[in-house]
Structure 1
Amino acid sequence: EVLEEIHNGSTGGHLGVTKTLGKVRERFYWVNCTTDVKEWCKKCVVCAASNAYRSSVHETTGQTPASIVMGRELRLPCDLKFGCTPGDDVAGEDYVSTLRQRMDDIHERVRSNIQGASDRMKETYDINANDGRYQPGNQVWLYNPQRRRGLSPKLQSSWEGPYEVVTRINDVVYRIQKLPRGKPRVVHFNRLAPFAGSNDEQAEARVRHVSPPDSELSFEEFMLLHSNGQKARYGVTREEPRDLFQTPADFCLAHCVAADLRMSRGIALIFKKAFGQLEELRRQRPEVGRVLQITAAEQEKERSVFYLVTKQLSHHKPTYQTVWDTLVELRDVLLSQSISSLAIPKIASGLDGLDWRVIRSMLEVLFRFTGIEILVCCYNPRRSLNEKTVDCFFYQTSRCKNGSFCRYRHGPEDDTIR
């Protein structure tokens, strides 16, 4: 136990025989102490592995780590048994200068070998390296190894696209833009790969719409499964406390409206002030269950806006059936236009009064096999940051031990964090 702590412990550091023996004698003494220390250091696996590493010639430097640091090779057990080759006898007064000269020679050879290894690596890399000769207008793939929420890393693809080269900033840096209306970004050419092209738009839409293994749920079957609050989570939606209108430009926007297009309150009023185009929406003949659209070209902006007609008049309330029919229509429109990113508020659950848990389960079920990402923005500038919005699970099932100091809501009267 003494040698285990002094030699192998956190303060030991696997020192050699001399230093380990010195540390032992500062605290203990027993018969055959020196022999025991030598045997312990000799049988130490970590020391043996370190000696093997320090005494082996490295391919890059062409020298052993021991010779680079100490100016001489390690003395191995075979050297002690069979003897070392005779070396040059150096007088004591010349030892320092001779050692310095020897180490300078070793370091010079090491620098030369490292430079040679670097040149070989560059030649090997340049054989298959892309010289970055992408021109503006070329279509490319972008390598993005970032993990997607709700997807296994083994199943997700690390290549995104296609992107279009907008500008060649220099030999290795490009500004690209995701088709059709993505936000420009600057990347290194090592993350790019040529895009060979695709099939016609209809075939591409069919590829993106992967049919589920079983027949799609009907509205009645969905309500039978999820009307009681049972959640459906397939990684389609994600909620973030952020401003809907500050989302990236490659996200299209959508919200619910009435067929009369009054939009006189709530978030519908904000959409009306921000985008307008009421005459264009009326020309599309709004009906319950339909999806109206203002394209990016019509509003001279970077993304389209979708209006989900879920009720006839603005003072009416939508039903789960009308919301379901409208979301089915929205899914088909997004797939036909190859749109993969959508940002929405908590639709039909604010002034309309429907249960957001059911609406979110609808989104998860209907968009599960489409590859469309839905960002739910639940930021409300008028709401206090300390307001409790999530019910406490333990309070509903039994008893919450945190009492009034719980971060979650215990009842309608419990609205703020104390």
Structure 2
Amino acid sequence: MLIPTVFESSLHSRVARNTATAAQHRIRACGGVDICRTRLPLGMAGARLDGAECVKEVQGDLFTCSESSSLAHCISADARMGKGIATAFKKKFGRVHEIRSQGQKPGGVAVLKCGDRFVYYLVTKEKFYHKPTYESLTSSLEAMRDHCERNGVRELCMPRIGCGLDKLEWRRVKAILGKMFSPSKTEVKITIYNL
């Protein structure tokens, strides 16, 4: 039997500590979801899990979804909306002064009522040139979910939020969406539109 030296014991201890610290940072960054340790239901061992089953992805133009479906996308608190899909939202729905007047900060959500639907502007960063965090996105999603629940929204369509110009990782964002909109927490169904 080999007896570890003091150096080897110390090294193993440091590796274990660093691994635990990395896991804590990963979980914190994913809004409390440890995407590397997500357990699969019985009978699904070996299945690929890249997000929650409550998040449906389709190919197509987001603006062709049903008029009864609410829409969502990410913006900055200054509501500039000068690039990416935000420009399409700005052109289609306008009312930028109304969005700004709501005074939402990162982690909040500005809301417009447009006919039979709501349009959600997830405020995930202070200025248009900043990048969002997973924490600010999670807070914005929670605020949106609460508004959906209070207002009877059952269908929500969006692009891969935060993953275009904002450069968040879709796998992590999808895991956060799955946690926020799990069937045990809400009846809101999410459809992600990819071009």
In 2: Cα distance, 1:358 partner to 1:224 partner = 9
- Cα deviation, 1:252-309, whole Å, max 9, x if unaligned, reads 000000000111010001110111001111111121111111102xxxx332211000
Aligned-residue offset at 1:323: 0.6
Distance 1:378 1:287 in 2: 28
Structure 1 residues 123-272: aligned runs within 5 Å: 220=28, 222-223=31-32, 225-226=34-35, 228=36, 231=49, 233-272=51-90
Secondary structure of the residue that 2:137 maps to in structure 1? helix
Provide Cα deviations, 1:372-416, integer angstroms capped at 9, x if missing partner.
Answer: 11000001xxxxxxxxxxxxxxxxxxxxxxxxxxxxxxxxxxxxx
Aligned to 1:312: 126
Greater length-normalized contact order (CA 8 Å, ≥ 6 residues apart): 2
Paired residue for 2:171? Answer: 357
C-alpha distance 351-234 of structure 1, shift in aligned 2 (>3 A): closer
Tell me which residue corresponds to 1:406: none
For residue 162 of structure 1, what is the aligned residue in structure 2?
Answer: none
Percent identity between the aligned chains? 34
Paired residues for 1:42-53 under 5 Å: none
The CA deviation string for residues 90-141 of structure 1, in whole angstroms up to 9 with x for no partner, is xxxxxxxxxxxxxxxxxxxxxxxxxxxxxxxxxxxxxxxxxxxxxxxxxxxx
- 1:274 is paired with a residue whose SS is helix
Of 77, 94, 97, the match for 1:276: 94
> What are the Cα deviations for residues 30-58 of structure 1, in whole angstroms up to 9, with x where unaligned?
xxxxxxxxxxxxxxxxxxxxxxxxxxxxx
**Shift in Å, 1:336:** 0.6
Instruction: Determine the structure 1 residue equivalent to 2:138.
Output: 324
TM-score by length of structure 1 reads: 0.36
What secondary structure is seen at the aligned counterpart in 1 of 2:34? Answer: helix
TM-score by length of 2: 0.75
Q: Does 1:346 align with 2:160?
A: yes
SS in structure 2 opposite 1:225? coil
Paired residues, number: 156
Supply the distance in 2 between the matched residues of 1:250 and 1:236 (Cα, whole angstroms): 19
- Which amino acid in the other structure matches residue 104 of structure 2? P
Match of 2:150 in 1: 336
Q: Which residue of 2 aligns with 1:382?
A: none
- CA separation in 2, counterparts of 1:244 and 1:224? 27
Return the letter of the residue paired with 1:367.
F
Relative distance call for 1:305 and 1:224 in structure 2 (3 A) is: closer
Secondary structure of the corresponding residue to residue 256 of structure 1: strand
- Pick closer, same or farther for the CA change 1:358–1:285 going to 2, 3 Å: same
Indicate the residue corresponding to 2:112 in structure 1: 294
| Gaps in structure 2 of 5+ consecutive residues | 1-26, 39-48
Would the alpha carbon gap of residues 315 and 240 (structure 1) be closer, same or farther in structure 2, given more than 3 Å must change? same
- Checking the alignment, whether the CA contact within 8 Å between 1:232 and 1:365 is kept in structure 2 is no
Residue type of the partner of 1:236? C
Structure with greater strand percent = 2
| Structure 2 SS opposite 1:295 | strand
1:373 counterpart residue number: 189
Provide closer, same or farther for how the CA distance between residues 236 and 272 of structure 1 changes in structure 2, counting only shifts above 3 A: same
Residues of 1 paired with 2:171 and 2:88: CA distance? 24
Contact 2:60–2:193 (8 Å) recurs in 1: yes
Q: Highest Rg: 1 or 2?
A: 1
Q: How does 1:19-168 map to 2 (within 5 A)?
A: none
Structure 1 unpaired stretches of 5+: 1-218, 380-418
Once the two structures are superposed, residues 295-332 of structure 1 have per-residue CA deviations (whole angstroms, 9 ceiling, x without a partner) of 02xxxx33221100000000000011111111111111
The amino acid of 2:91's aligned partner reads K
What letter corresponds to residue 377 of structure 1 in structure 2?
Y
